[in-house]
Amino acid sequence: MLGKIIIKYKLFIKTDLTPNKNEYRAYKMTTTGELTMVKSNFILILFALFLLFFLPLSVLPDENIDEVFKIDKSEFPGKWEILENLSDANGGSLKIMGQHWLMYFLHWQPLTPELEKSLSPEYVRKRLLNFWGPNMPFELTGNEGEITINGHKAYWVEGTIYKKTVKTRFIIWNCPESGRQFIADTNVNKRLETPDEFLLLQTDMTKTIGCHGEVSAHLNKTLDSEYKSDSLKISFLKPSIWSTGIYEDKKWYPDGVNSQKGSLWTLPTGSEKLVIKKWKNDKLPITTETLKQFISELEKEKINYRKVMEIRLENFRVEKVVPPDENTFTATGKFSMVSTYQGEAGSEDFFFTAYLWYDDEKTVFLMTGMVDRKDFWEKPVDLTPTAAQIEEFNNAVLKLLMI
């Protein structure tokens, strides 16, 4: 969440792709799952573990969002929290934030005779437990089974890590036709209340993988786009609002990713959202000037997130204004969310849509925001939300709050 060098409710120790390597690198992870390399020593690692296991219990929001209104999780997936809920004789302010996170990796390596013979449920269990090394203490849930992928038998096993913060499903199969073994490494962040449906959706994606030849998978309502690489000889269906790219890592793949060894990763767009509703107990003109007045107030305000992090909204850029009538007004643009924790600051860009309207004798300002990421783990990746995705979110917010 909130910038690339901020905290840390989770610490990941990441090993080489090959199992059972002891060499590792340490990372800080934000609440969305974003990692930054830890440059200090073991004391910082212990501190990060303290944050992971104890801090969230003591800094929960003061007000439960379900006490204010009922959110439909099909329209608002993930964890939603109230940042501010204030009112007085002059007006009021409501600020809420929503987050969810998932990661879908597809790894492949040459299919050796030893690997071909070893595929079994027990093999998949061991791979899940050891894939990320001894400092990633996965626990098996007991949920496992088998599916068919492009004509191949595949075994799957589920596990969790760090007090069930992340739920993972490993799916492994052999493809003799292409001479490769594949691992679908599917993950959802349960601390952010990411629904299990997203884990099952990643399994549905895996069932459409073309590891050899052509696959008869068809686009549908949820898997509405296709990733296809002729050079990697891989294809699969996925949601159009999830972005897929090559996972470049010089440590894992010093000679680069190719058709025989490599990884793809698929990440969600629009995983962090912000909704702000402010009102004045007075009828102000429905104009650009009034919009700028509300925005100016926002830029002066600070959000004390969970009493440990300061959030500011800065650098608003109004890029488009819908010609207003006498009762409504809409504008779109971008702003930056700047988060500060213990003197370190990080910034992320958001798309926003702002509305003005009258509610009896009140002037109401409503703004939605959706994160626009261009990199992750210091690797370039385009996580720009689609226009349709933003419009769908805006319509859901208007239905919820335009009252």
CA nearest 33: which of 189, 217, 245, 238? 189
> Residues 378-384: what's their mean pLDDT?
91
> Residues 222-249: what's their mean pLDDT?
95
Secondary structure letter of residue 323 according to DSSP: P
Per mean pLDDT, which of 39-53, 263-277, 312-326, 376-390 is the most reliable? 263-277
- Average pLDDT of the chain, as a whole number: 84
What is the predicted pLDDT for the residue at 326?
64
Per mean pLDDT, which of 39-43, 85-89, 171-175, 329-333 is the most reliable? 171-175
What is the predicted pLDDT for the residue at 21?
33
pLDDT tens per residue across span 127-171: 999 998 888 889 999 999 999 999 999 999 999 998 899 999 999
Q: Are 237 and 226 in contact (CB under 8 A)?
A: yes
Instruction: Tell me if residue 75 falls in helix, strand or coil.
Output: coil
What is the predicted pLDDT for the residue at 62?
53
What is the predicted pLDDT for the residue at 87?
92
Both structure tokens of 136: 């990633």
β-strand partners of 263: 107
Both structure tokens of 3: 């910038």
Q: Are 327 and 301 in contact (CB under 8 A)?
A: no
pLDDT band, very low/low/confident/very high, at 71 (cuts 50, 70, 90)? confident
What is the predicted pLDDT for the residue at 322?
81
Above pLDDT 70, what percent of the chain?
83
**Number of other CB atoms surrounding residue 317 within 10 Å:** 11
Q: Are 269 and 389 in contact (CB under 8 A)?
A: yes
| Dist. CA 107–CA 247, nearest whole Å | 9
pLDDT tens per residue across span 204-230: 999 999 999 877 778 899 999 999 999
Domain boundaries, given as residue ranges, for the chain: 10-53, 62-99+271-401, 102-268
Secondary structure letter of residue 296 according to DSSP: H
CA-to-CA dists, residue 244 to 51, 182, 195, 257, 264, angstroms: 31, 17, 20, 14, 7
| Dist. CA 330–CA 278, nearest whole Å | 15
Which residue type sits at 190?
A: K
Is the pLDDT at 198 greater than 70? The verdict is yes
What is the predicted pLDDT for the residue at 312?
94
Both structure tokens of 55: 């801090």
pLDDT band, very low/low/confident/very high, at 377 (cuts 50, 70, 90)? confident
- DSSP letters for 339-403: EEETTEEEEEEEEEEEEEEEETTEEEEEEEEEEEEEEETTEEEEEPPPHHHHHHHHHHHHHHH--
β-strand partners of 183: 107, 172
> Residues 21-45: what's their mean pLDDT?
35
| Dist. CA 350–CA 274, nearest whole Å | 9
Is the pLDDT at 12 greater than 60? The verdict is no
Q: What's the CATH class of domain 102-268?
A: alpha beta
Q: Are 136 and 13 in contact (CB under 8 A)?
A: yes
CA-to-CA dists, residue 61 to 68, 165, 369, angstroms: 13, 19, 20
Per mean pLDDT, which of 20-34, 55-69, 82-96, 323-337 is the most reliable? 82-96
> Residues 63-85: what's their mean pLDDT?
83
Residues 6 or more apart whose CB falls under 8 angstroms from that of 37 comprise 25, 26, 27, 28
Q: Are 15 and 138 in contact (CB under 8 A)?
A: no
- When comparing pLDDT for 220 and 31, which is higher? 220
Secondary structure letter of residue 217 according to DSSP: -
pLDDT band, very low/low/confident/very high, at 233 (cuts 50, 70, 90)? very high
What is the predicted pLDDT for the residue at 325?
66
pLDDT tens per residue across span 341-374: 888 889 999 999 999 999 999 999 999 999 999 9
| Dist. CA 289–CA 287, nearest whole Å | 5
- When comparing pLDDT for 161 and 13, which is higher? 161
| Dist. CA 334–CA 368, nearest whole Å | 11
